Amino acid sequence: MSEISLGAGLLRLGLVGSPNSGKTTLFNALTGLRAKVGNYPGVTVERREGELEIDGRRALVIDLPGTYSLEPISPDEAVVDRVIDGELGPAPDALVMVADACTLERSLLLIAQVLRRGLPACLVLTMTDELHARGGVLDIPRFERALGIPVRGVVGHRGLGLAALRELLARPESWSRPPVLPPEPAEERAGWAASVLASALTRRPGPSRASEAIDRVVLHPFAGTLLFAIVMVVFFQLIFVWAVPAMDGIDAVVGWAARHVHATLPPGLATDFLADALIAGVGSVIVFLPQIVLLFTLLFLLEDVGYMARAAFVIDRVMGRIGLEGRSFVSLLSSYACAVPGIMATRTIPSPRNRLITILVAPLMTCSARLPVYALLIGAFVPATSVLGPLRLQGLVLLGLYLLGAFAALAVAALLGRTVMRGESLPFYMELPPYRWPTAKLVATQVWGSARAFLRRAGTVILTVSIVLWCLLSFPRTPAPEGTTPAEASRFALEHSLAGRAGHAFEPLIAPLGFDWKIGVGLLSSLAAREVIVATLAQIYAATDEPGSLRDALRRDVSPDTGRPVYTPATVASLLVFFVFALQCMSTIAVMKRETNGWRWPAFAFSYLLVLAYAASFATHRLVEALVGAP
């Protein structure tokens, strides 16, 4: 013990444990809301640290990613190993192992590996209440002697045992250490685990009868599938329907604030910037909060209760076909409402490879921001004829667009799994934890953490990009000739802005898709968010607020070169298909950057989706022209 010399400085404690061990609950209980979230370099693994003060001594608790083994089989798993070895920043001074008291027979296999690292270590047993409820009896003093390290029992969500634990954590230099280290080979570790348990676990816990009874229904071939469908429908409703009023409310407040600024401040550049760039930019960040909060409340609730693992179990076969796993389903479904929460939901996918593939295909699911674009184009150009009874052509086209997106997502996922992400395939294993009551506090802490992470890490990017886009659409400022209406002046300013000029400049590039410069400007502005193209087109066509005004303007528009309509059936189809594929959404890009720790994958996603969009639009344009004849 003489080799440990812990200074009076910051004490670094590494929290090690398997998934479902209650490690996160303990971390939150110890550090409260003060967790700092960052990245480990080069991998898609979140780094969570939190400070706490015990007896005047400052300690940094490092929440290591949950793992079942210290023998890594992927670069992401290697993080735990490398942190313990001090390869990613200073090595921890001591390790705090966390294990579910009911699964010690398995957890001891990991505990043995951790003990072999030779750092001062202690063991925190969670779910001790559940152990007792299931009839298990563990003699903690004997357990300490058998392991050779301090052991404390806690009930993390109720805060029981935390005071004693804090006291222990303050003095790792006084922790006892095992006289002999456990053996290394797995089989011998199992023997060691059996002998440790034989001396301390006086009575084994029985099976969790409540969980068994619930599983008989939840995993029943018929009832379980039905329940799965119901949960998913509710999930979908939650973000698609329930979040909308809140988002509309935020939009209304932002719009009111912008108008208020215009009305009260003298007209000029500063006022325009404040109202149209800054306030609108902040609005485009916070508008995501309702669905993020709603989605994560339900997500964490289902996760903490234990249903998420069951849902993944039920749907895994389907997702396995395309090389993904059950947990990807929830994320892709959420992406139907919006890819931003959908991509954030991939955090529940344990396999980094599957998580990345899910993130990369999530933007292909038809999100609600595409609806205004589809509605405009379909409303203007697809006849409202009846195809078969109540089935109308407009509805069928919309359905087709949804299906095209979903099919493309599945196809791309399968393709990525066989190409870019090849050879990183890991075995699929997933624990089915006992059902537990969630606690409001834990769910609230997790939801708050997600919302805060979004605001700080993605929000800043979204705000910056929306300000840059505003500048592109507003500069250089060209005053309109005398006597023009406000709508025409606005159109004039846009046409002479950088974005307007860019639209003209890259017209030759998009001409093969059937797009003119006006659509080009619309596409550029839709980078802010897909539906922005509707407002931009309205500005370009100097359309009024009257409903139908923009639709008529689009229908009437003729090309100055050919004198024929701009929006031919081929162009409309091509533009719709472009919106199915293209990643026209800076918020998605920002959230991808935040979730994958860098620009590499967002850049990849943007590029492949742009290539796909261009190719598909080009093919659609040609095909429709061939079918209906060139104008």
Partner 1 sequence: MSPLEASTPPARAAVSLASLAPGAHAVIQSVDSSTAIGRRLQDLGFLPRTPIHVLRRAPLGDPVAYELRGYRLCLRRVDAARVWVVPTDPAPPASS
Which CB atom, from 358 or from 584, has the smaller least distance to partner 1?
A: 358
Question: Is residue 143 at the binding interface for partner 1, with CB under 8 A as the rule?
Answer: no
At 157, the amino acid letter reads: H
Rounded Cα gap, residues 97 and 63, in angstroms: 11
**Ordered alpha helix ranges (H), 515-599:** 517-525, 532-540, 549-556, 569-581, 586-596
Question: Is residue 290 at the binding interface for partner 1, with CB under 8 A as the rule?
Answer: no
- DSSP track, 333-361: HHTTT-HHHHHHGGGG---HHHHHHHHHH
Question: Is residue 316 at the binding interface for partner 1, with CB under 8 A as the rule?
Answer: yes
With contact defined as beta carbons under 8 Å apart, do 433 and 271 qualify? Answer: no
Among 1, 9, 55, 222, binds partner 1 (CB under 8 A): 222
Smallest distance, partner 1 to C-beta of residue 326, A: 8
Question: Is residue 429 at the binding interface for partner 1, with CB under 8 A as the rule?
Answer: yes
Choose among 554, 559, 617: nearest CA to 584: 617
Question: Is residue 521 at the binding interface for partner 1, with CB under 8 A as the rule?
Answer: no
Among 407, 428, 448, 599, binds partner 1 (CB under 8 A): 428
The CA-CA-CA angle for residues 382, 388, 393, to 5°, reads 10
Contact segment (CB under 8 A) with partner 1 among 79-87, 202-210, 331-339, 392-400 equals: 202-210
Which CB atom, from 35 or from 124, has the smaller least distance to partner 1?
A: 124
Q: Which residues pair with 153 in a beta bridge?
A: 125
Which CB atom, from 79 or from 532, has the smaller least distance to partner 1?
A: 79
Question: Is residue 423 at the binding interface for partner 1, with CB under 8 A as the rule?
Answer: no
With contact defined as beta carbons under 8 Å apart, do 20 and 433 qualify? Answer: yes
Tokens of 242: 């329930």
Contact segment (CB under 8 A) with partner 1 among 38-46, 69-77, 347-355, 569-577 equals: 69-77
Q: How many residues bind partner 1 (CB under 8 A)?
A: 42
Among 81, 130, 215, 272, binds partner 1 (CB under 8 A): 215
With contact defined as beta carbons under 8 Å apart, do 477 and 493 qualify? Answer: yes
Torsion, CA 16, CA 19, CA 24, CA 25, rounded to 10: -120
Which CB atom, from 429 or from 437, has the smaller least distance to partner 1?
A: 429
Choose among 306, 212, 323, 333: nearest CA to 19: 306
Contact segment (CB under 8 A) with partner 1 among 122-130, 427-435, 452-460, 560-568 equals: 427-435
CA distances from 433 to 99, 304, 306, 309, 571 (A): 13, 9, 6, 8, 53
Which CB atom, from 285 or from 314, has the smaller least distance to partner 1?
A: 314
Question: Is residue 109 at the binding interface for partner 1, with CB under 8 A as the rule?
Answer: yes
Question: Is residue 504 at the binding interface for partner 1, with CB under 8 A as the rule?
Answer: no
Residue count of the chain: 631
Smallest distance, partner 1 to C-beta of residue 389, A: 33
Among 163, 265, 318, 511, binds partner 1 (CB under 8 A): 318
Contact segment (CB under 8 A) with partner 1 among 89-97, 193-201, 233-241, 356-364 equals: 193-201
Question: Is residue 371 at the binding interface for partner 1, with CB under 8 A as the rule?
Answer: no
Rounded Cα gap, residues 357 and 420, in angstroms: 10
Which CB atom, from 115 or from 543, has the smaller least distance to partner 1?
A: 115
Question: Is residue 104 at the binding interface for partner 1, with CB under 8 A as the rule?
Answer: yes
Tokens of 244: 């909308």
CA distances from 438 to 22, 300, 311, 446 (A): 12, 9, 17, 12
Rounded Cα gap, residues 216 and 544, in angstroms: 60
Question: Is residue 475 at the binding interface for partner 1, with CB under 8 A as the rule?
Answer: no
Count of CB atoms situated within 10 Å of the CB of 1: 9
* 60-85 residues labelled b (16+ CB within 10 A) or e (exposed): bbbbbbbbbebeeeeebbbbbbbbbe
Contact segment (CB under 8 A) with partner 1 among 27-35, 170-178, 428-436, 559-567 equals: 428-436
Which CB atom, from 64 or from 523, has the smaller least distance to partner 1?
A: 64
Question: Is residue 76 at the binding interface for partner 1, with CB under 8 A as the rule?
Answer: no
Question: Is residue 187 at the binding interface for partner 1, with CB under 8 A as the rule?
Answer: yes
> Residue 385 burial (CB < 10 Å; 0-12/13-18/19+)?
exposed
The CA-CA-CA angle for residues 455, 460, 464, to 5°, reads 145
Question: Is residue 22 at the binding interface for partner 1, with CB under 8 A as the rule?
Answer: no
Among 424, 431, 507, 557, binds partner 1 (CB under 8 A): 431
Count of CB atoms situated within 10 Å of the CB of 24: 23
Among 10, 33, 73, 630, binds partner 1 (CB under 8 A): 73
Listed in sequence order, the residues at least 6 apart from 390 whose beta carbon sits closer than 8 Å to its beta carbon are none
Question: Is residue 103 at the binding interface for partner 1, with CB under 8 A as the rule?
Answer: yes
Q: How far is CA 237 from the centre of its chain?
A: 18
Question: Is residue 620 at the binding interface for partner 1, with CB under 8 A as the rule?
Answer: no
Question: Is residue 105 at the binding interface for partner 1, with CB under 8 A as the rule?
Answer: yes
Question: Is residue 437 at the binding interface for partner 1, with CB under 8 A as the rule?
Answer: no
With contact defined as beta carbons under 8 Å apart, do 525 and 499 qualify? Answer: yes
Contact segment (CB under 8 A) with partner 1 among 198-206, 458-466, 518-526, 581-589 equals: 198-206
Smallest distance, partner 1 to C-beta of residue 217, A: 12
Question: Is residue 93 at the binding interface for partner 1, with CB under 8 A as the rule?
Answer: no
Question: Is residue 229 at the binding interface for partner 1, with CB under 8 A as the rule?
Answer: no
Contact segment (CB under 8 A) with partner 1 among 165-173, 204-212, 485-493, 564-572 equals: 204-212
Contact footprint for partner 1 (CB under 8 A): 68-69, 71, 73, 102-106, 109-110, 113, 186-187, 190, 194, 197-198, 204-205, 207, 215, 219-222, 224-225, 313-314, 316-318, 320, 426-433
